[in-house]
Amino acid sequence: MRVGIGLGSNVGDCAAELAKAREWLRGLDAGMRVSSEYETEAVGCVCGTPVFRNQAVEICWRGSLESLLGGLQDYERSRGRQTVRKVNEPRTVDLDLLYADECRVKTARLELPHPRMAERRFVMEPLAEICPGRRISGLPGTVLETAVWLRKKGGSACRRIA
């Protein structure tokens, strides 16, 4: 199945952290699709939170989604992410499962598609690069149509940087 993953970092050398995360993810799928990197304002964070560097990847995954989630969380912890933390706290790296083909999942640990992705330019802009025509349950249109709608709506800044 095709699985979308959002990457983010706003602590330390963010470009290097995203590069390390991409390399780790390439170990899961050497042929993954990768977006450009974007700089985005911190959304839902305390005042003064550093800007984020974000991007998206799409991988081919053949295992369980729970095992993929566990692997992503293990990777985050290996890069210094604390298990117990405040919501939207600054972090070295954040890896979020966004969707898995047409799967709808709602468990204590995982909800797919990601419940807030349609509200976030820092998710939709990078996804629009790598899968513009994809339809994801809960989006008002295709990924590209949703990204365009969010751009017109305004809100937090999101600009391609690399």
pTM: 0.92
> Residue 49 — very low, low, confident or very high, per pLDDT cuts 50/70/90?
confident
Tokens of 157: 């800044």
Lowest model confidence (mean pLDDT) among 34-38, 54-58, 141-145, 152-156: 152-156
Q: What are phi and psi of 100, to 5 degrees?
A: -145, 95
Res. 81: pLDDT tops 90: no
pLDDT digit string (tens) for 37-47? 999 887 776 77
Spell out the domain ranges in the chain.
Answer: 2-160
- 2-160 to CATH, choices 3.40.50.10860, 3.30.70.560, 3.40.50.300, 2.60.120.260: 3.30.70.560
